[in-house]
C-alpha cells in the first residue's frame, strides 16, 4: 500500500473548535501561503495546503525510488473520483477525468451528434474564451449556429437566453460564476427549461466548485466541467467532467482509449480484446489513457477538507467575507461591479472600469495605481477585464478583508503614493 493518499483531513485530526471563526482560523494554519500576505487570487489559482504538499512529497518519494505501486495509483484515482462526485452530489460513474475545463467542454462538444442548423445558446460577453471556441469550432465544422445574448450589466441574462431557445437548440451553456465580473448565474432556471425540452445543459463551474455548494440534480445540469487549480486548491493539468448518466449513455465519445472500454473486472490495463467492446458505464467512457496521478493525489486532501467542513458551510463563510469586502469597497467609493453586495455575489469581488480585453494592467490610471499599492503591500490579486479582481476562499479571514480596505483608504489618502 502506498504511503500517500487516504489521509484524514485536517479538520478531523483535531477536536473541532467551537466557533465558525475559530474553525476557519484552524483551517487557515494549514495554508502556508496565507502566513505572509493577503491572498485574494483564488479565481486564478487556489492555495494548496500543507497536506497537499505532504501527499505530493510521498508520491514523488516513491517515483524517485523506482518502486511505484500502480494499483495504489488506480486506487487513488477511484477514491478521488468518488470524492469529486460527492462534492457535487453525483455518482462516481458520472465523473470522467480531464486535464482542464476546456477538455471537459470539448468532450461534450465533440461527441454530440450535430447537424447543420442545430444551435447552441450562450452569452459571449461574459463567458471565458474556453467556453466559446468549442462552439465556434462546431459552427465552422458542421454549420451549427452559435446564438449569443448580450450580458445584462455584467450578468448572464437568463431570460434572454430562454428567448433564443427553439426546436433546433441542442445545447445551452453558461458559467455558474463568471471569471469577471464574478457574478452568479441563475443556473436552476436554465436547467429546468433545458430538462423539459431535452436540451443538453452544460456548465463551466470552475469559478464555483470548491467554494459554492453544488448539487447537480437540483440544478438540473447535464454536464459540468472544472479544473482543480482554483477552488479545489490542487494542481494545473487536472479537471473532471460530470456527465449525467442518462445523457452519457446516449453519447458515443469522439475519442476512445483503454479506460473508455469495459473489459470486465480484474482485467489488466494492457489487455486487448478481440475488437468487440462495450463502453464504460456513464461518464467513465470519456476517460482515456493514463491519469494525472500526482494531480489526483494533490487534490485529495482538499476534497477531504471540503467534504468534512461541508460545502454549504464553506460557501456561507467565504461569501460572508466577500460581502464584507464588496460593502467596504463600495463605501469607500470604488466602482464595485454590481454595486453593494447582493445575491449576484459569490466569492469574487471586482472593482474598477470594465474593459473587455484588458487583463494585465487595468489601463485606467486610478486602478493601475491602486493595484500597484496593493501588490507593493503583499496583496495578491489579478486584473481581469480592466478590473481589480479579489477572490476569496476558506483560508481567508476578516483580517485579510480589513487589510485590503485599510490599504485602499491609505491609497485614497495619498499615503500610498497614488
Ligand X SMILES: Cc1ncc(COP(=O)(O)O)c(C=O)c1O
Least gap, CB of 86 to ligand X (angstroms): 22
Among 38, 56, 88, 101, binds ligand X (CB under 6 A): 101
Least gap, CB of 231 to ligand X (angstroms): 10
Binding segment toward ligand X, per CB under 6 A, in 86-94, 125-133, 253-261, 297-305: 125-133
Q: Is 352 left (phi over 0), alpha (psi -120 to 50) or beta?
A: left
By CB under 6 A, is residue 322 in contact with ligand X?
A: no
Instruction: Annotate 136-205 with three-state secondary structure.
Output: HHHHHHHCCEEEECCCECCECCHHHHHHHCCCCEEEEEEECECCCCCEECCHHHHHHHHHHHCCEEEEEC
Least gap, CB of 206 to ligand X (angstroms): 5
**53 by DSSP, 3-state: which?**
helix
Rounded CA gap, 378 and 396, in Å? 14
C-beta closer to ligand X: residue 169 or 227: 227
C-beta closer to ligand X: residue 221 or 408: 221
Least gap, CB of 241 to ligand X (angstroms): 11
By CB under 6 A, is residue 128 in contact with ligand X?
A: yes
C-beta closer to ligand X: residue 128 or 284: 128
Rounded CA gap, 70 and 270, in Å? 13
C-beta closer to ligand X: residue 11 or 241: 241
C-beta closer to ligand X: residue 46 or 191: 46
| Angle, alpha carbons 347-351-355 (nearest 5°) | 115
Binding segment toward ligand X, per CB under 6 A, in 24-32, 56-64, 128-136, 305-313: 128-136
Burial (0-12, 13-18, 19+ Cβ within 10 Å), 298: buried
Of 9, 57, 2, give the one whose Cα is nearest residue 30: 9
Binding segment toward ligand X, per CB under 6 A, in 47-55, 123-131, 256-264, 328-336: 123-131
Least gap, CB of 30 to ligand X (angstroms): 24
| Contact positions with ligand X (CB under 6 A) in 184-213 | 204, 206-207
Rounded CA gap, 381 and 183, in Å? 17
By CB under 6 A, is residue 179 in contact with ligand X?
A: yes
Alpha helices (H) in 50-100, listed in sequence order = 50-65, 70-88
By CB under 6 A, is residue 242 in contact with ligand X?
A: no
By CB under 6 A, is residue 391 in contact with ligand X?
A: no
| Contact positions with ligand X (CB under 6 A) in 324-343 | none
What own/partner pairs with CB < 8 Å and gap ≥ 24 does 74-81 have? Answer: 75/2, 75/5, 76/2, 76/4, 76/5, 76/6, 76/293, 76/296, 76/297, 76/300, 77/291, 77/293, 77/296, 79/5, 79/6, 79/300, 80/296, 80/297, 80/299, 80/300, 80/303, 81/240
Of 186, 180, 234, 238, give the one whose Cα is nearest residue 207: 180
DSSP states along 308-342: HH-HHHHHHHHHHHHHHHHHHHHHTT--BTTSS--
The dihedrals phi and psi of 354, each to the nearest 5 degrees, come to -70, 130
Binding segment toward ligand X, per CB under 6 A, in 58-66, 94-102, 319-327, 339-347: 94-102
Binding segment toward ligand X, per CB under 6 A, in 52-60, 99-107, 318-326, 335-343: 99-107
User: Considering CB under 6 A, how many residues would be counted as binding ligand X?
Assistant: 12
By CB under 6 A, is residue 400 in contact with ligand X?
A: no
Cβ neighbour number for residue 74 with a 10 Å cutoff: 14
By CB under 6 A, is residue 41 in contact with ligand X?
A: no
Rounded CA gap, 341 and 289, in Å? 45
C-beta closer to ligand X: residue 10 or 226: 226
C-beta closer to ligand X: residue 131 or 169: 131
Among 34, 119, 227, 382, binds ligand X (CB under 6 A): 227
Least gap, CB of 175 to ligand X (angstroms): 5
Among 96, 175, 224, 407, binds ligand X (CB under 6 A): 175
By CB under 6 A, is residue 292 in contact with ligand X?
A: no
Least gap, CB of 341 to ligand X (angstroms): 21
By CB under 6 A, is residue 100 in contact with ligand X?
A: yes
Q: Is 363 left (phi over 0), alpha (psi -120 to 50) or beta?
A: left
C-beta closer to ligand X: residue 101 or 121: 101
The residue ranges that bind ligand X (CB under 6 A) are 100-102, 128, 130-131, 175, 179, 204, 206-207, 227
Amino acid at each position: 500500500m502506498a504511503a500517500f493518499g487516504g489521509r484524514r483531513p485536517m479538520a478531523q485530526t483535531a477536536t473541532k473548535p467551537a466557533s465558525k471563526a475559530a474553525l476557519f482560523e484552524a483551517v487557515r494554519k494549514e495554508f502556508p501561503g496565507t502566513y505572509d500576505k493577503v491572498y485574494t487570487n483564488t479565481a486564478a489559482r487556489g492555495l494548496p495546503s500543507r497536506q497537499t504538499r505532504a501527499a505530493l512529497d510521498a508520491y514523488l518519494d516513491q517515483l524517485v525510488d523506482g518502486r511505484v505501486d500502480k494499483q495504489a495509483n488506480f486506487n487513488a484515482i477511484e477514491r478521488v473520483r468518488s470524492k469529486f462526485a460527492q462534492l457535487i452530489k453525483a455518482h462516481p460513474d458520472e465523473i470522467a477525468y480531464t486535464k482542464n475545463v476546456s477538455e471537459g467542454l470539448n468532450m461534450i462538444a465533440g461527441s454530440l451528434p450535430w447537424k447543420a442548423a442545430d444551435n447552441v445558446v450562450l452569452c459571449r460577453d461574459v463567458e471565458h474564451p474556453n467556453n466559446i471556441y468549442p462552439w465556434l469550432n462546431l459552427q465552422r465544422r458542421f454549420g451549427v449556429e452559435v446564438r449569443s445574448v448580450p450580458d445584462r450589466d455584467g450578468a448572464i441574462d437568463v431570460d434572454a437566453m430562454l428567448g433564443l431557445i427553439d426546436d433546433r437548440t441542442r445545447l445551452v451553456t453558461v458559467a455558474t460564476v463568471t471569471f469577471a465580473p464574478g457574478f452568479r448565474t441563475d443556473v436552476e432556471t436554465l436547467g429546468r427549461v433545458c430538462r423539459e425540452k431535452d436540451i443538453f445543459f452544460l456548465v463551466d463551474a470552475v469559478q464555483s466548485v470548491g467554494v459554492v455548494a453544488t448539487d447537480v440534480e437540483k440544478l438540473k445540469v447535464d454536464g459540468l466541467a472544472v479544473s482543480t487549480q482554483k477552488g479545489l486548491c490542487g494542481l494545473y493539468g487536472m479537471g473532471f467532467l460530470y456527465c449525467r448518466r442518462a445523457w452519457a449513455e446516449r453519447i458515443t465519445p469522439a475519442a476512445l482509449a483503454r479506460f473508455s472500454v469495459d473489459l470486465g473486472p480484474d482485467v489488466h490495463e494492457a489487455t486487448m480484446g478481440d475488437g468487440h467492446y462495450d463502453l464504460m458505464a456513464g461518464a467513465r467512457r470519456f476517460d482515456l489513457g493514463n491519469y494525472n496521478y500526482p494531480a489526483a493525489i494533490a487534490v485529495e486532501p482538499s476534497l477531504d477538507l471540503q467534504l468534512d467542513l461541508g460545502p454549504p458551510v464553506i460557501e456561507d463563510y467565504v461569501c460572508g467575507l466577500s460581502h464584507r469586502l464588496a460593502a467596504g469597497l463600495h463605501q469607500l467609493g470604488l466602482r464595485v461591479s454590481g454595486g453593494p453586495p447582493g445575491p449576484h455575489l459569490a466569492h469574487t469581488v471586482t472593482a474598477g472600469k470594465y474593459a473587455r480585453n484588458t487583463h494585465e494592467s487595468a489601463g485606467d490610471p486610478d486602478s493601475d495605481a491602486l493595484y500597484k499599492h496593493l501588490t507593493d503591500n503583499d496583496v495578491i490579486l489579478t486584473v481581469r477585464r480592466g478590473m481589480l479582481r479579489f477572490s476569496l476562499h476558506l483560508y481567508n479571514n476578516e483580517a485579510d478583508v480589513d487589510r485590503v480596505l485599510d490599504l485602499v483608504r491609505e491609497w485614497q489618502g495619498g499615503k500610498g503614493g497614488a
